[in-house]
Structure 1
Amino acid sequence: MAAEAQKEIQLEIAHVLFIDTVGYSKLSINEQHAVVDELTQVVRATKEFQKAEASEHLIKISTGDGMALVFYTSPEAPVRCAMELSCALKDHPRLRLRMGIHSGPISGVIDVTGRTNLAGAGLNTAQRVMNCGDAGHILVSRHVAEDLEEYDEWRPLLHELGECEVKHGARISVANLYTEELGNPAMPEKLKAARAAAAAAAAAKRRRTTYRRISVGALALLVAVATIGFLFFRYAPQFAARALAVREKSIAVLPFNNLSKDEANAFFAEGVQDEILSDLAKVADLKVISRTSVMLYKAGNPRNLREIGQQLGVAHVLEGNVQRAGGKVRVNAQLVDTRTDKHLWAQTYDRDLADVFAIQSEIAQKIADQLEAKISPREKAAIADQPTKDIAAYDLYVRATDLIDKAAYEGGDARRKYELQAVDLLNQAVARDPSFLLAYCGLALAHDEVYLDRVDHTPNRLALAKAAIDAAFRLKPDSGEAHLALAAHFYHGYFDYDRARDELAIALRTLPNNARVFLWSGLIDRRQNRWHDAVRNLERALELDPRNTMIIAEASLTYMLMRNYGQARAMTDRLIALEPNNVLYRLDRAEIEVWERADLQPVQGVLGENFTDNPALLRTEASLCFLIALYGRNPVAADNALAAITNNPFEVRSVGFTRAYAEGLVARMKGDDDGARAAFSAARTEQEKVVRAQPDEWMEGGLCSLGLIDAALGRKQEALSEGRHAVELLPVTKNALDGAGILYFYAAICAQVGERDLAIEQLKPLAQIPAGTSYGDLRLDPYWDPLRGDPRFEKIVEESKKPIALK
């Protein structure tokens, strides 16, 4: 009988909600019975309980003072049930519950009565998680937190608590789940006491070892350190606040060393490494660092694997060598634990060259097995899938990918050259192998970049991108890479943020470790006024690609637009640490002082008072320098910046300034009214042509610029009409980023033509939204000179010193 029961209940992964009543033992017997009956009724009334029970995907276990609910549906089921219970408890003040949630293995056992019961790590861990909490807490294990972080609904409700010591001295990482109304936001007493004890122990140790040497100065230093520590933990950047300890199932695939005599095979070695990385990245149970960050650790250079593990936030790295000779290939790979430098696995493969993709799949599968990753059948099939059977086509693809990566960090002619070369190589790749899906996806991305960068801003270029995407979908309709390419097409080609977001959500299902999914989601979030989501998505992108300077720069910009300057500095400092010789990052940091404190000196410290100290940087950042020169009322610096600007028009706050208009602003700064009017008149003639020739998608910027010119010429009604029309074409509700820039200049038009009330009316909301305006803008921008001294304006200026209060 027992053997048969064991057969019927096999080991399965279940999702457990453990509940108990705080203070149960202090109740009388009658009170205990009443509490258990009331708890049972409340639990059975929840929708999640009823749904799971109706579908026979729920097992209930009584624990005396509470219960365990074992769901066999999804990781969200116990969480939704816990939230429903927390809401219901408002009407049941006698029930003081704490709850713990974990997903893990559950199996059937025969208990002492001969009955079938449940046991396993899933139940045990859920109970231990619960035991870390107090009344009202909904605590989840690290495993559950990582699962929930994939959902926009749950991500903002998760708050990492760190490690909690449980039974037998074991430690588990837990997170607190709560909203403003549900759950308990307080630090659990068990964790609070543990932290206090640890702090006291550390303090005692310091006192024992340093007591005789502590001076007044040293005491002052300790106070300062304590103060800094308090401020750090109180105001720490969101990008660090939710960081967990390094995940056990985390890995970075470092560049493989090319041992071939022919240096041209370096791209082949890079391709082997890249394909293993891509295969592992398809496993949702792993954390896999993206290509951009690992490529910084070039093969052949000395490597400190412990440092690399710390820098990338991983527990393991994979290293290897590739040797290609004639029709043969040798691949050697080894897995290393970065915390101990212990070699966990190594193997050498000697095969025919045609088998190289099979080698890559085998290595990826071996690594996943070594890390004990859960792999779904779909993920296993994806790892086994070979990108192409044509080695030459794959070489072309790898070279093109390298060019696309380079283009992202270049500008001007170099960027255009790399993008067009990548298109050419990818066209050759699909010509050799018309079934090469990844090459079609790369080709679509390259075409869209060519379109976005206005190298070829034509409908034909968009059609070429769409044709490549269609080819990819014909090969594999459920391809995550194809959905990612389509998301980029909607985003970069049409600014269709909703459809791009939908495609990114589909892509994420099969590309759980793709940093671009989270980066592009964050950029779309900004434009759709979802700033909290933008921060979370950029944070996730940085977890997967921690040394990607583009993502770090976008994170810094996001914080700056939210007027969260401390965190913007932290991100910029991170850039400087990665590239200490890059003067652009020092300029970025100095720029923060302009917006936060209206202080121009740090920028002048980088560029010189008249922008003559760094001509190369002036050329690349001339538009920003021109704006800073206007803010500083420095005509010499403005002339120098204008001389360095090669584009006409050039962009300021998403609006194009023509050179003639800029010359008019400088002439007005110099007091040359006649020269200013002549320049503005020339600018109007030029801008009218621009507006007439401009496609609808760029019309609002052209109209806004024309409005500024008409305001300078005293054409009040035309200026107001043009500015108002620009705002109607691109309101903040349609594009929270560029729309805010349009509204800023419409307010400036109102101020310039003497409509003070109307200008104030626009500035009030503008000063309360991200990307709207800053203290530096309002204090320094000459556009606002007509409003200075107005108490309403000065109040807005003072309010702009504060971070944006997001709802």
Structure 2
Amino acid sequence: MADTRMQRKLRAIFSADVKGYSKLMGDDDEHTINTITAYREIITKLIEAHHGSVVDAPGDNILAEFSGALNAVNSAVEIQRTLETENGKLPDNRRMEFRIGINLGDILHKDDRIYGDGVNVAARIESLADPGGICISRGVFDQVKKKVLHGFEYLGERAVKNISNPVRIYKILTKPQYAGKVIGEKRFLGRMSRKLAMSAILTLAIVTGGLISYYIYLHQSGRIEPAVVGKMAHSLPELPSIAVLPFDNMSGDTQQDYLSDGITEQIIASLSKVPYLFVISRNSTFTYKGNPVKVNQVAEDLGVRYVLEGSVQRSEDHLRITVQLIDAIAGHHIWSEKYDRQIKDIFALQDEIAMKIMAELQVKISVADMGRLSLIKTKNIKAYEKFLKAWEYYWRRTEADILQAKKLAQETIELDPEYGDAYLLLGWTHLDDIWFYRTKSREKSLETAEQFAQKAISLSADEAAGHRLLASIYMLRKEYENAIVESQRSVDLAPNSATANFVFGMVLRNAGRYDDAIPYLEKAIRLEPITPVNFLNNLALAYAYSGQYEKALPLWTKAIEKNPDYLFAYQGLTWAHQLLGNRDRAKKFAAEVLRIKPTFTIAKFQNNIPAMNETERARIINAYREAGIPEK
């Protein structure tokens, strides 16, 4: 199903058509069709070579967009030179000459098409160009005049149909004798010299009107309305902070979601390895998937300065990926780009995007770190796609979906036996069998998960996720020293990973090192602002086990707000309130524990209690007893 949301962007719009096309068709329609088909292919390739994209090509017209005016102008000049050569091969009466107009303006994207005054003005400018020539608006001229080795002729202000204000038009002069020159401006300025005072007033009015228009654009479009630091739900980190929103799937096929989601996740994973950035977790940003959302709202919800958004469109083996990096506090785009690549180039492209983000945020990394950030784990594109589909099933976490994830991960390994991430995914599925009580043999599942973890590490030792999986396995076996070593390694490799920090904090908490656990669990929650209940519960336990009950209570309360039947929160509230002397509340929460799990007893709690000294253990058990939890 096509995406029906409108996206407003500032773009260089390229419009071209054929002078005398109707006559050419009337004289020899077959030859004309063959010629325009060949020329359209030439034009499209040159547009794409200059990082633009054709968005429509009805009849003899070609409409394209570019993220910058310079690329649009360079593309137009090369197109006209190439077509001049091609026309030299044809008889004079069969030559096909295009007129090109370029405008810099605001456009609306909908259903893979573009609309708006910016498009209309480009079409009108095109009609003023000579056959084989190029005309541009004043906005384009201002952007490129010092960046190209061409001249310009000012054609004056021209009234264009359906546009209320006249448009200043410049003709591009490509002959060497005009290089660096602007002709015609003095002639027009001379006409106005007698009305200098009026001109000044008019200029002021234009500037004021422009500022008002810009204000209206920002605040009515809603796409880059500035975020307010004072409204942020979380304090702004000192490091450059960024949220990567799930890329939109523009393919019109929801079955392709795995690809756009996978690209988003891989970029987040790469940025999370950089110690000089603050990167919001995938789980938090994906809560916005499929929902129209304002960038300033995202920044305020998550407490970040920068937001990256993008889209992915796939057509067979061709990918079109659009990305834009936004300074949400300043309320403007920092960088945007459109990539047209083959699917086989996706790994290098993801690396390129991650590196570009760091460059724009002025984050410097070492050569060693740069190599470690690479997302290239396989050269087999079929294995990569199958792996992404496997992860898509894994995130759903139902028994049937986990079985499908296992199947796809095994098929991935058959395609590429050296693909470490596939073994890693298999390891996590076996841990899921333990966590969700699906396994017939806990020890067998742990053994199998460990084998896959070790295999993943042997193939990708510098990947945090392999060490994180191994740490989780050791923790479940209560081999805390080994778990601490592996989880520490995971955090070292991915300091901005919410999951890595959470697992390290959970390991330390289970090992009885509560004060050491708290900073990692707090950081995990800050990296995961839309926080899962198990993150809240683990931090609450670390506070409570260290005697900081007042800090633990609101975390458990928040967990219950998210999940009214979250057993672990009611358990914690029971014994914590009892130890604080709030006996009525303790009994109330104990009743909720037994409502959710009628078979819960003190004996079962004792079997699963983490490492702690005997005094702490006795206090909690006694608190349960006094609150009304049965012994057996």
Q: How do residues 221-236 of structure 1 correspond to structure 2 at under 5 angstroms?
A: none
- The letter of the residue matching 2:504 is S
Q: Judge conservation of contact 2:501–2:521 (CA < 8 Å) in 1.
A: yes
Q: Which residue of 1 aligns with 2:488?
A: 505
In structure 1, runs of 5+ residues without a counterpart are: 1-239, 408-413, 612-620, 627-640, 658-699, 702-734, 744-765, 785-807
Q: CA deviation at 1:739?
A: 5.5
Q: How do residues 156-195 of structure 1 correspond to structure 2 at under 5 angstroms?
A: none
Write the distance in 2 (CA, Å) between the matches of 1:513 and 1:428.
31
Aligned identity (percent) is 28
What SS does structure 2 have at the residue aligned with 1:295? helix
Q: CA deviation at 1:271?
A: 0.5
Provide closer, same or farther for how the CA distance between residues 269 and 498 of structure 1 changes in structure 2, counting only shifts above 3 A. Answer: same
The CA deviation string for residues 604-627 of structure 1, in whole angstroms up to 9 with x for no partner, is: 5x99xxx7xxxxxxxxx7xx216x
The answer to whether structure 1 residue 322 and structure 2 residue 312 are counterparts is yes
- The letter of the residue matching 1:481 is A
The CA deviation string for residues 126-147 of structure 1, in whole angstroms up to 9 with x for no partner, is: xxxxxxxxxxxxxxxxxxxxxx
Q: Which residue of 1 aligns with 2:249?
A: 258
Q: Which residue of 2 aligns with 1:219?
A: none
Q: CA deviation at 1:509?
A: 2.5
Q: CA deviation at 1:419?
A: 3.4
Provide closer, same or farther for how the CA distance between residues 771 and 424 of structure 1 changes in structure 2, counting only shifts above 3 A. Answer: farther
The answer to whether structure 1 residue 656 and structure 2 residue 618 are counterparts is no
The answer to whether structure 1 residue 271 and structure 2 residue 118 are counterparts is no
Provide closer, same or farther for how the CA distance between residues 499 and 782 of structure 1 changes in structure 2, counting only shifts above 3 A. Answer: closer
What SS does structure 2 have at the residue aligned with 1:656? helix
Q: How do residues 555-570 of structure 1 correspond to structure 2 at under 5 angstroms?
A: 555-570=539-554
What SS does structure 1 have at the residue aligned with 2:373? helix
Q: Judge conservation of contact 1:596–1:776 (CA < 8 Å) in 2.
A: no
Q: CA deviation at 1:460?
A: 4.1
Q: CA deviation at 1:332?
A: 0.5
Q: How do residues 216-365 of structure 1 correspond to structure 2 at under 5 angstroms?
A: 245-299=236-290, 301-365=291-355
The CA deviation string for residues 769-803 of structure 1, in whole angstroms up to 9 with x for no partner, is: 3784288546444889xxxxxxxxxxxxxxxxxxx
The answer to whether structure 1 residue 528 and structure 2 residue 530 are counterparts is no
Q: CA deviation at 1:602?
A: 8.4
Q: Judge conservation of contact 2:372–2:462 (CA < 8 Å) in 1.
A: no
What SS does structure 1 have at the residue aligned with 2:351? helix
The answer to whether structure 1 residue 395 and structure 2 residue 385 are counterparts is yes
Provide closer, same or farther for how the CA distance between residues 783 and 317 of structure 1 changes in structure 2, counting only shifts above 3 A. Answer: closer
The CA deviation string for residues 271-326 of structure 1, in whole angstroms up to 9 with x for no partner, is: 01111111111111111111111111113x12132232233222111101111111
Provide closer, same or farther for how the CA distance between residues 652 and 398 of structure 1 changes in structure 2, counting only shifts above 3 A. Answer: farther
The CA deviation string for residues 515-550 of structure 1, in whole angstroms up to 9 with x for no partner, is: 222212222222222111121121121122222212
Q: Which residue of 2 aligns with 1:382?
A: 372
Q: Judge conservation of contact 1:444–1:464 (CA < 8 Å) in 2.
A: yes
Q: Which residue of 2 aligns with 1:214?
A: none
In structure 2, runs of 5+ residues without a counterpart are: 1-232
- The letter of the residue matching 2:484 is R
Write the distance in 2 (CA, Å) between the matches of 1:529 and 1:461.
25
Q: Which residue of 2 aligns with 1:471?
A: 455
The answer to whether structure 1 residue 420 and structure 2 residue 378 are counterparts is no
What SS does structure 2 have at the residue aligned with 1:773? helix
Write the distance in 1 (CA, Å) between the matches of 2:571 and 2:475.
26
Q: How do residues 584-663 of structure 1 correspond to structure 2 at under 5 angstroms?
A: 584=566, 591=574, 593=577, 596-600=580-584, 624-625=593-594, 645=598, 650-653=599-602, 655-656=603-604
Equivalent position to 2:620, from 773, 777, 781 = 773
Write the distance in 2 (CA, Å) between the matches of 1:367 and 1:482.
26
Q: Which residue of 2 aligns with 1:445?
A: 428
Q: Judge conservation of contact 1:587–1:603 (CA < 8 Å) in 2.
A: no
Write the distance in 1 (CA, Å) between the matches of 2:581 and 2:442.
43
Provide closer, same or farther for how the CA distance between residues 547 and 775 of structure 1 changes in structure 2, counting only shifts above 3 A. Answer: farther
Provide closer, same or farther for how the CA distance between residues 347 and 447 of structure 1 changes in structure 2, counting only shifts above 3 A. Answer: same
Q: Which residue of 2 aligns with 1:737?
A: 610
Write the distance in 1 (CA, Å) between the matches of 2:455 and 2:509.
31
TM-score (norm 1): 0.45
Q: CA deviation at 1:355?
A: 1.1
Provide closer, same or farther for how the CA distance between residues 774 and 465 of structure 1 changes in structure 2, counting only shifts above 3 A. Answer: closer
What SS does structure 1 have at the residue aligned with 2:276? coil
What SS does structure 2 have at the residue aligned with 1:491? helix
Provide closer, same or farther for how the CA distance between residues 602 and 498 of structure 1 changes in structure 2, counting only shifts above 3 A. Answer: closer
Provide closer, same or farther for how the CA distance between residues 566 and 770 of structure 1 changes in structure 2, counting only shifts above 3 A. Answer: farther
Q: CA deviation at 1:435?
A: 1.9
Write the distance in 2 (CA, Å) between the matches of 1:557 and 1:298.
31
- The letter of the residue matching 1:324 is R
Q: Which residue of 2 aligns with 1:543?
A: 526
Equivalent position to 2:501, from 518, 532, 556 = 518
Q: Judge conservation of contact 2:514–2:545 (CA < 8 Å) in 1.
A: no
The answer to whether structure 1 residue 431 and structure 2 residue 405 are counterparts is no
Write the distance in 2 (CA, Å) between the matches of 1:330 and 1:774.
60
Write the distance in 2 (CA, Å) between the matches of 1:262 and 1:282.
32
Q: Judge conservation of contact 2:464–2:494 (CA < 8 Å) in 1.
A: yes
- The letter of the residue matching 1:347 is E
Provide closer, same or farther for how the CA distance between residues 399 and 327 of structure 1 changes in structure 2, counting only shifts above 3 A. Answer: closer
Q: CA deviation at 1:244?
A: 6.3
The answer to whether structure 1 residue 462 and structure 2 residue 335 are counterparts is no
The CA deviation string for residues 65-111 of structure 1, in whole angstroms up to 9 with x for no partner, is: xxxxxxxxxxxxxxxxxxxxxxxxxxxxxxxxxxxxxxxxxxxxxxx
Q: CA deviation at 1:341?
A: 2.3
Write the distance in 2 (CA, Å) between the matches of 1:451 and 1:582.
23
What SS does structure 2 have at the residue aligned with 1:486? helix
The CA deviation string for residues 678-736 of structure 1, in whole angstroms up to 9 with x for no partner, is: xxxxxxxxxxxxxxxxxxxxxx84xxxxxxxxxxxxxxxxxxxxxxxxxxxxxxxxx97
Write the distance in 1 (CA, Å) between the matches of 2:440 and 2:379.
33
Provide closer, same or farther for how the CA distance between residues 455 and 593 of structure 1 changes in structure 2, counting only shifts above 3 A. Answer: same
What SS does structure 2 have at the residue aligned with 1:506? helix
Is the deviation greater in 374-383 or in 453-462?
453-462
Write the distance in 1 (CA, Å) between the matches of 2:383 and 2:619.
48
Q: Judge conservation of contact 1:445–1:485 (CA < 8 Å) in 2.
A: yes
Write the distance in 2 (CA, Å) between the matches of 1:778 and 1:456.
32
What SS does structure 2 have at the residue aligned with 1:359? helix
Provide closer, same or farther for how the CA distance between residues 403 and 555 of structure 1 changes in structure 2, counting only shifts above 3 A. Answer: farther
- The letter of the residue matching 2:467 is H
The CA deviation string for residues 189-237 of structure 1, in whole angstroms up to 9 with x for no partner, is: xxxxxxxxxxxxxxxxxxxxxxxxxxxxxxxxxxxxxxxxxxxxxxxxx
Q: Which residue of 2 aligns with 1:710?
A: none
Q: Which residue of 1 aligns with 2:151?
A: none
Q: Judge conservation of contact 2:306–2:328 (CA < 8 Å) in 1.
A: yes
Q: Judge conservation of contact 2:389–2:408 (CA < 8 Å) in 1.
A: yes
Q: Judge conservation of contact 1:447–1:461 (CA < 8 Å) in 2.
A: yes
What SS does structure 2 have at the residue aligned with 1:513? coil
Superposed structure 1 runs of 4+ greater than 6 Å apart: none
- The letter of the residue matching 1:569 is L
Write the distance in 1 (CA, Å) between the matches of 2:572 and 2:483.
32
The CA deviation string for residues 635-668 of structure 1, in whole angstroms up to 9 with x for no partner, is: xxxxxx7xx75xxxx4535x339xxxxxxxxxxx
Higher relative contact order (CA 8 A, sep 6+): 2
Q: CA deviation at 1:573?
A: 4.7
What SS does structure 2 have at the residue aligned with 1:369? helix
